[in-house]
């Protein structure tokens, strides 16, 4: 727990105090977010030129905090199990965050360079998401690694990802094989990155929702660590078969802390936007969390707000192409409520409540499954 707290604190402080520096740097480089002024959205007023690509700050803060958390791990008492060496799990999770963020960075860079809201084309962005998902999905599924605890005892050789679909645990009846698992991981990465990206339309909306989801994954992973099948001190049959749960909790906590620090400057009126750099980076990490904690089918509930907003876009497109009519005044859904007269702050707070409800339901299901397994 000490290492997780250290990582959260370091990430929060780095993000909180380095974001103003990033604001000045990006403003000097004229890396402002291009704004379409012909949409009739009140939230767009006064935002032209606001620095973008702020996701760079909390991605770097997460990576640095991970290192700090590992330094704290070396001071743990011998009576505790800890991953004192960097693991494949960390490689996959941080890799998904960094390289998904890199795809978003290219998109942001092109927007700034062209001074236009259209950056990387859809095919290019899709290809980048598929490539990132495929590479790290293959690493997650094909590369098990033996691991020792602080006492030098061999623990498990689980892979980061599973070859079965999972809800709260792996579901043995839903075996999909290694190739199928990689395909599923690619799909989850695409869904999560696009979900967070579509949600990032109002000041602080995607950042706050991501904090809730990442904090929930930190709790889930730490609970798995405390009831871990690889822990020789824990012999109950209802333990969790995962790899490196403390690593997962550490990274999830660090990312949540970094996002809280960033939210200080990103909340309305935002002084900086996360851009596609941050949105895709967070989406990639959230997808990795679902994969590594073996909770892939729980993710649509945990990230319920992202699902709702994504579905609003899908429904709008299908309706318009089949009937020529729009279901919403504008999609994604948050802009529908803007055009209905809701203030930006009201929309953000109410959507945060929806995100919190999804997180609460998911955590309730996770814990109730544990209680059922115990009984």
- According to the model, what pLDDT value does residue 232 have? 77
- According to the model, what pLDDT value does residue 155 have? 53
* 1 Cβ contact list (under 8 Å, min separation 6): 222
340-368: average pLDDT:
96
253 vs 72 pLDDT, higher one? 253
**If pLDDT is split at 50, 70 and 90, which confidence band does 117 have?**
low
Q: Is 240 helix (H, G, I), strand (E, B) or coil?
A: strand
- According to the model, what pLDDT value does residue 298 have? 97
Question: Can you give the pTM of this predicted structure?
Answer: 0.93
Task: Write out the two tokens for 184.
Answer: 């599923």
Task: Quote the distance between the C-alpha of residue 134 and its chain's center.
Answer: 17
Whose tokens are 């989801």? That residue is 213
Q: Is 33 helix (H, G, I), strand (E, B) or coil?
A: coil
Q: How far apart are CA 31 and CA 111, in angstroms?
A: 9
Q: Is 296 helix (H, G, I), strand (E, B) or coil?
A: helix
- According to the model, what pLDDT value does residue 179 have? 96
**If pLDDT is split at 50, 70 and 90, which confidence band does 30 have?**
confident
pLDDT digits (tens, 9 = 90+) for 8-23: 999 999 999 999 999 9
In the annotated binding site, the residues are: 197, 276
- Give me Rg for the CA atoms of the chain: 20
Task: Write out the two tokens for 317.
Answer: 């497109």
Task: Write out the two tokens for 273.
Answer: 């936007």
- According to the model, what pLDDT value does residue 209 have? 97
Q: How far apart are CA 319 and CA 222, in angstroms?
A: 43
Q: How far apart are CA 60 and CA 49, in angstroms?
A: 23
Q: How far apart are CA 66 and CA 10, in angstroms?
A: 9
- According to the model, what pLDDT value does residue 349 have? 97
Three-class SS string for 239-262?
CECCCCHHHHHHHHHHHHHHHHHH
In the annotated binding site for Mg(2+), the residues are: 197, 276
In the predicted structure, residue 79 carries a pLDDT above the cut 50: no
Using an 8 Å Cβ cutoff, are 137 and 190 in contact? no
In the predicted structure, residue 152 carries a pLDDT above the cut 50: no
Percent of the chain with pLDDT over 90: 72
pLDDT digits (tens, 9 = 90+) for 247-272: 999 999 999 999 999 999 999 899 99
In the predicted structure, residue 98 carries a pLDDT above the cut 90: yes
Which residue range is the domain that position 103 belongs to? 1-374
**If pLDDT is split at 50, 70 and 90, which confidence band does 1 have?**
confident
Using an 8 Å Cβ cutoff, are 308 and 333 in contact? yes
Containing H/E element for 303? none
Q: How far apart are CA 102 and CA 254, in angstroms?
A: 19
Q: How far apart are CA 200 and CA 77, in angstroms?
A: 42
In the predicted structure, residue 302 carries a pLDDT above the cut 50: yes
**If pLDDT is split at 50, 70 and 90, which confidence band does 114 have?**
confident
Which of 245, 373, 243, 217 minimizes the C-alpha distance to 303?
A: 217
In the predicted structure, residue 146 carries a pLDDT above the cut 80: no
The DSSP bridge partners found for residue 240 are: 228
- Distances from the Cα of 90 to the Cα of 24, 204, 234, angstroms: 31, 27, 24
- According to the model, what pLDDT value does residue 100 have? 97
- According to the model, what pLDDT value does residue 77 have? 54
52 vs 134 pLDDT, higher one? 134
Number of domains comprising the chain: 1
State yes or no: cis peptide before 332, omega within 30 of 0.
yes
Q: Name, of 48-57, 83-92, 201-210, the range with top average pLDDT.
A: 201-210
Task: Write out the two tokens for 371.
Answer: 């209680």
101-113: average pLDDT:
91
Q: Is 345 helix (H, G, I), strand (E, B) or coil?
A: helix
Using an 8 Å Cβ cutoff, are 299 and 286 in contact? yes
**Residue 292 burial (10 A CB sphere; 0-12, 13-18, 19+):** buried
Task: Quote the distance between the C-alpha of residue 100 and its chain's center.
Answer: 10
Whose tokens are 């007269």? That residue is 341
Percent of the chain with pLDDT over 70: 89
The DSSP bridge partners found for residue 164 are: 175
Sequence-ordered strand ranges (E) for 126-169: 164-166
In the predicted structure, residue 94 carries a pLDDT above the cut 70: yes
124-142: average pLDDT:
95
- According to the model, what pLDDT value does residue 40 have? 59
């Amino acid at each position: 727990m000490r290492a997780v707290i250290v990582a959260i604190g370091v990430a929060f402080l780095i993000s909180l105090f380095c974001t103003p520096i990033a604001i000045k740097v990006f403003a000097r480089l004229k890396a402002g977010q291009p704004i379409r002024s012909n949409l009739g959205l009140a939230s767009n007023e006064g935002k032209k030129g606001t620095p973008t690509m702020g996701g760079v700050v909390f991605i770097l803060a997460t990576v640095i905090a991970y290192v700090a958390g590992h330094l704290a791990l070396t001071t743990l008492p011998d009576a505790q199990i800890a991953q004192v060496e960097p693991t494949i799990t960390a490689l996959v999770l941080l890799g998904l965050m960094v390289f998904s963020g890199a795809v978003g960075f290219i998109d942001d860079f092109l927007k700034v360079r062209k001074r236009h809201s259209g950056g990387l084309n859809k095919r290019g962005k899709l290809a980048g998401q598929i490539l990132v998902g495929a590479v790290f999905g293959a690493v997650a599924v094909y590369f098990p690694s033996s691991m020792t605890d602080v006492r030098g005892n061999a623990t498990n050789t689980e892979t980061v990802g599973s070859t079965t679909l999972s809800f709260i645990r792996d579901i043995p009846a839903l075996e999909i094989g290694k190739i199928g698992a990689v395909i599923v991981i690619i799909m989850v990465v695409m869904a999560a990155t696009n979900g967070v990206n579509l949600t990032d339309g109002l000041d602080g909306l995607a950042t706050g929702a991501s904090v809730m989801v990442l904090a929930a994954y930190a709790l889930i992973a730490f609970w798995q660590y405390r009831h871990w099948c690889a822990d020789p001190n824990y012999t109950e049959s209802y333990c969790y078969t995962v790899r490196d749960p403390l690593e997962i909790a550490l990274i999830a906590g660090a990312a949540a802390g970094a996002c809280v620090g960033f939210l200080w400057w990103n909340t309305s009126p935002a002084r900086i936007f996360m851009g596609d750099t941050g949105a895709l980076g967070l989406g990639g990490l959230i997808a990795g969390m679902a994969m590594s904690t073996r909770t892939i089918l729980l993710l649509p509930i945990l990230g319920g707000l992202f699902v709702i907003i994504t579905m609003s876009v899908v429904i709008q497109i299908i309706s318009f192409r089949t009937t020529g009519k729009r279901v919403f005044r504008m999609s994604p859904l948050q802009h529908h409520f803007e055009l209905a007269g809701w203030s930006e702050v009201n929309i953000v707070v109410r959507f945060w409540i929806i995100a919190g409800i999804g997180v609460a339901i998911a955590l309730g299901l996770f814990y109730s499954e544990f209680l059922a397994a115990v009984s």
